[in-house]
Each structure stands twice: as structure tokens, then as C-alpha cells.
Amino acid sequence: MRNNIYKITVLALTATVMQSCFVAKDYKRPDLKTDNLYRSEKVSTDTLSLANVSWDKIFTDPILQGYIKKGLESNLDIRIAMQNLAAAQASMLQGKAGYFPTLSVSTDWTHQELSKNSQLGGIVRNTTVDQYQLTGSLSWEADIWGKIRSNKRGTQASYLQTNAANQAIKTQLIASIASTYYQLLALDEQIKVAEETLINRDESIETIRALKKAGNVTEVGVKQTEAQKYATELIIADLKNNTILLENTLSILLGEASTKIERSSFETQKLQPTITLGVPAALLRNRPDVIAAEYNLINNFEMTNVAKSSFYPSLKVTATGGLQSIDIKEWLSANSLFATVITGLTQPIFNQRQIKTKYEIAKANQEKAYIQFEQSLLTAGKEVSDALAQYNNETYKITVREKQVDALKKAANFSDELLTYGLATYLEVLTSKNDALNAELNLVDNKFQQYNAIIQLYKALGGGWQ
């Protein structure tokens, strides 16, 4: 017994000494350049980013806030992501259990009929043999080269990657709900503008008919004016149809069947937060997809460690023990006890290049993960630059469009008066009124595009999931 304890102690000390030859490397974040990721007129030195603002402070409409909360609870993509997270957590827990031994227990009964003409059957009298056995098996591998540790870290990184992917879905969902909601409000406003214009179109028809009776215009002018009215009705029909389609889209985002969507008005919205970009390096901690890409790199880095450790010998301890007897009455006696302990080092020599192939694949996957990490950061910078440029452009266009609308509405009013006195043609009147309607519709769209640019900038900076 003492001799066995001595041997086990020696093996344990050997494993400890060999662990000093640890080959698994520790992960270090690659030196990625984050300077000038944003394309702007001046370099951002803000310590805070718009992404650090809670979504309910950005989107202050109470109805929209309710939809976002509902979407985060009921959206089907979110629910699928939660199941992915549960699966990743199970894998992570298995990785943590790699340090523990495996233990199994089995019991069996063996009945054997020996041939009387066989060598053994000719010796023993009783050719019927029954054996009863209760066996426990334990196996443990020493983590000499850090394979188990690397596998544990790899599964943790995989779990955190899935968690970050879940956060990315939340960010996208919040942006999609907000964008669809504001687009619905914009369509309501455009319908309002078009319906007000339709009333004016009816009045214009009456005016043009009166002018025809007076001999100032021909029937062509009357029909052209009627056609203008019908064109406005078609615009309203398309706007209302688009409203239904958007309501259906928002319903799906909320995880429910298509239905009518309650909402407030476009003119009551105040989506004008302070635009702060933060330093570009903040994307590494704010953008869920960038975070996920780095965890993917960490996972592949650790898997490379695991593959490399397979080149080195492994130390395993296997123990088997239990009760064994040919007489069931003596099965549980001390004389039925048996035990076997096997320890040793296994060094792979030739295995059809399997270990080297796995290592080369792991290295290639690690390099691919690094490129994807770098790509995700560049993409994040581009999205911030795009959203910022769109916001600045729409903000400028609104100021110009408001002047255009004012000028065209006045021109339309003047043309009506001039037509009455025969100083303008009906074609000039139709053109000015069409231009005024299109400008008003475009002004509403510019305001929506400005709101949408803010939403996309918030998402691009990594806002919404915190």
C-alpha cells in the first residue's frame, strides 16, 4: 500500500514539474489601429459617446418606448438568440469541468457454458460459470501542457461571443423598431399633406371650370386639372398602402401577427440628441459585433493552443475497482474486492498526420478570425462615418428644403391669382402646384431621413444594448 502511495506521489510530482514546461500562450489583443476610423471634419476627442446614452433617453416617445420594451421581450430573433446563449453556456460549463476526472459505475452478470471438449472444460468439473461484478472506473488526465485550460478559455470565449451576438441583435432590433416607427409617422404626415392638397385640387377644378365658361381656358385645361387631382389620389393610395406594409413589418418585429399600430404624430417628435462620437477606440467595447469578433479570435487562439498541445505526451491515470465473485452470496465480502491502477505517458509518433493537420487548420482559423476582427472594426468605423455624413447632409437639406417649400407654395398661390386674371396659363399653374406638393412630401422625407441617420449613428456607435 505504501509503495502504491509512493508511486502515485512520484507521478503527481512529475506532472507538476512538467507543467513548468507550459507551452500554451496567453492571449494578447492585437495592435489594431483605431486612429481616423471616423471620417469627419475634426478628430473626435469626446470622452463620452452617444452609445453610452440609454435608448430610453434617446427615444422619448412613450408609445415607441413601449414597442421597444415589447420587442426586447417577444421578438422571435431575440428568443432564438437566447436559446443560442443557453447552448453556449452549456458548452462553457463543460469546458470548466475538464479538470475533473471522469467516473462511471457499472454492474453486470456473466453466465458462461464451457465446452466439455475444450481445454478448460476438460479440467474443471463444473462447466457452468456465473460471475457477478460491480465496477467503478475513474480516469483523469493531468493538464501538463495547458490543453484543458486552453479548452476552458476557448469555451468561455465562445460563450461570450454568443452573448455579444445576442447584444448585437438587441441593438439592431431597437434601431429597426425606432426606424420603422418614425417612418410610419412620416407617412402619416405625408398623407396629411397630400389630403390637404387634394382639397385644393377639388377647388382648382371648380375654378378652372368657371374660367372655361368665361372663355379663358379650354377643355384641355379642365381635363389636365382633373388629371392632377387623380394623380394626388394615387399618391395617397400608395402612401396608405405603404403604411399597411410598415405596420405589418413592425408587428413582426414585436413578435406578433400583423395588426394596426398605434402611434403619435410626426410633428410632436423631438429626436435631436447631442451628437458625441467618442474616441474611435471606444468601438472595441461598445460595438457588440466587434466584441463578438474579438471573442471569436480568442476562441480560435485557444483552440490553436489545444491543437499544439497534442504534439506533446499526455499523462493519464486510470483506476478500476469493485466487487467480483462467482458466488452471489460472497459478492459483497472483502474477498471479492479487486482494483487496478494504470498510469503512464503517451507520446504520439505516427498518426497519419492528423495532429499536424489539426494544428495547421487551427492556425488558419486563428488568422481568419484576426482578419474578421480587423474587418469588423473597419466596418464599424465606416458605418459611423456614413451615418454622420447622412445626418449632416439631411440637416443641411432641411434648411434648404424649407425655403424651397415656402417659395413654391407662394408661387402656387400667385399662379392661381394670375390665372384668374389671364396672366398665367393652366400649365404653369399645374406645374407650380405639383412642385409645391412634391417639395412638401420631400421635406417630410428629409426630416425622417435625419431621424433615421440619428438612429443609425446610435446603432453604429454601439448604443442600445447596455
Nearest alpha carbon to residue 315 among 352, 271, 356, 347: 347
Split at pLDDT 50, 70, 90, the class of 418 is: low
User: Which is higher by pLDDT, 375 or 204?
Assistant: 375
Which residue in 345, 305, 315 sits closest to 23, CA to CA? 305
* b/e sequence 267-300, b meaning 16+ C-beta within 10 Å: eebebebebebbbbebbbebbbbbbbbbbbbbbb
- Provide the domain limits for residue 393: 29-101+145-316+353-460
Q: For residue 455, what pLDDT is reported?
A: 95
The rounded distance, in Å, linking the Cα atoms of 147 and 79 is 34
Residue 124's pLDDT is 64
Residue 309 forms part of a structural domain: yes
- The values of phi and psi at residue 128, to 5°, are -105, 120
The confidence band for 42, taking pLDDT boundaries of 50, 70 and 90, is low
* Average pLDDT over every residue of 401-422: 80
> Does residue 114 form part of some domain?
no
Residue 10 domain-assigned (yes or no): no
C-alpha cell at 223: 381635363
**How high is the pLDDT of residue 191?**
96
Judge whether 182 lies within some domain: yes
Q: CB within 8 A of 450, min separation 6: which ones?
A: 391, 394, 395, 398
Q: Is 366 inside any structural domain?
A: yes
Q: pTM of this prediction?
A: 0.83
- Which of the four pLDDT bands, split at 50, 70 and 90, describes residue 20? very low
Locate the DSSP E strands across 114-228. 128-141
3-state secondary structure 326-366: CCHHHCCCHHHEEEEEEEEEECCCCCCCHHHHHHHHHHHHH
Give the CATH number, domain containing residue 206: 1.20.1600.10
Structural domains counted in the chain: 1
208 pLDDT above the threshold of 90: no
pLDDT over 70 (residue 80): yes
Structural domain contains residue 362 = yes
Q: What is the mean pLDDT of residues 80-86?
A: 89
The enclosing H or E element of 157 equals helix 147-213
Burial of 242 (0-12, 13-18, 19+ CB in 10 A): middle
| 321 falls within a domain | no
Look at residue 87 and give its three-state secondary structure. Answer: helix
Q: Do residues 389 and 453 make contact, with C-beta atoms less than 8 angstroms apart?
A: no
When pLDDT is averaged across residues 373-397 and rounded to a whole number, the result is 94
What backbone torsions phi and psi does residue 133 show, to the nearest 5 degrees?
Answer: -140, 135
**Contact at 8 Å (CB) between 313 and 371?**
no
Q: Is residue 212 part of a domain?
A: yes
